[in-house]
A = this chain, B = another copy of it.
């Protein structure tokens, strides 16, 4: 059964066929050893074809899984992670950085964008007035700042999260101060 399940991949357009499996049989697979999700992460900036075929290393990023340490064994990728972990003990910071980069590369993370001072300034100014720019505003910003619209959207998402975080923190401080001054009276 496990083999049958693994044959199904996301490359094939699956029809909502009626399932003849019982849930018990599916639930019975809970303790299956390797559960590589046959799903590709969204990597719009990757241009070449080495995304396909045997390069399954790219599909292993999954936060849910990475919460729990040792999920995927028997692939190339966990070897890398082991090496990174060993780094902590035996290797220099520089070497650790190299391995981290290598790990990131295999995982297919977009290189971190370094915004210029001017770009940040404009984005902040717009954010003050409108922290939820629609697609039209984002496109215009992207054109004027010479950035992808995706970067703009992500920037606003993170900026909103930051605002919310700082707001929460200031409220916490307010409560703390109130309690403190009440105690001192």
Give the B-binding residues of A (Cβ under 8 A). 5, 8, 10-11, 13-21, 23, 25-30, 32, 35, 37-44, 46-49, 51-52, 63-65, 67-68, 76-77, 79, 83, 86, 90-92, 94-95, 98-99, 102, 115, 117-118, 120-122, 124-126, 128-134, 136-137, 140-141, 144, 162-171, 173-180
Q: What's the Cα separation between A68 and B167 when bound, in Å?
A: 17
Supposing A23-B141, A77-B167, A166-B39 touch, asked if A16 and B115 sit within 8 A by C-beta, the answer is no
A166 in complex: contacting residue of B10, B17, B18, CB < 8 Å: B10
A-side interface mostly: helix
The docked-state distance in angstroms from the alpha carbon of A12 to that of B176 is 19
| A20-B122 in contact given A52-B173, A175-B67, A177-B49 (Cβ < 8 Å) | yes
Contact between A102 and B132 (Cβ–Cβ < 8 Å)?
yes
Contact A48 B99 (CB under 8 A): no
When C-beta atoms are compared, the residue in chain B nearest to A118 turns out to be B30
Further pairs besides A14-B131, A19-B125, A42-B165: 19, Cβ < 8 Å: A5-B129, A14-B163, A16-B125, A16-B128, A16-B130, A18-B125, A21-B130, A23-B125, A23-B126, A26-B122, A27-B130, A29-B121, A35-B125, A40-B166, A64-B178, A65-B117, A67-B175, A76-B168, A90-B129
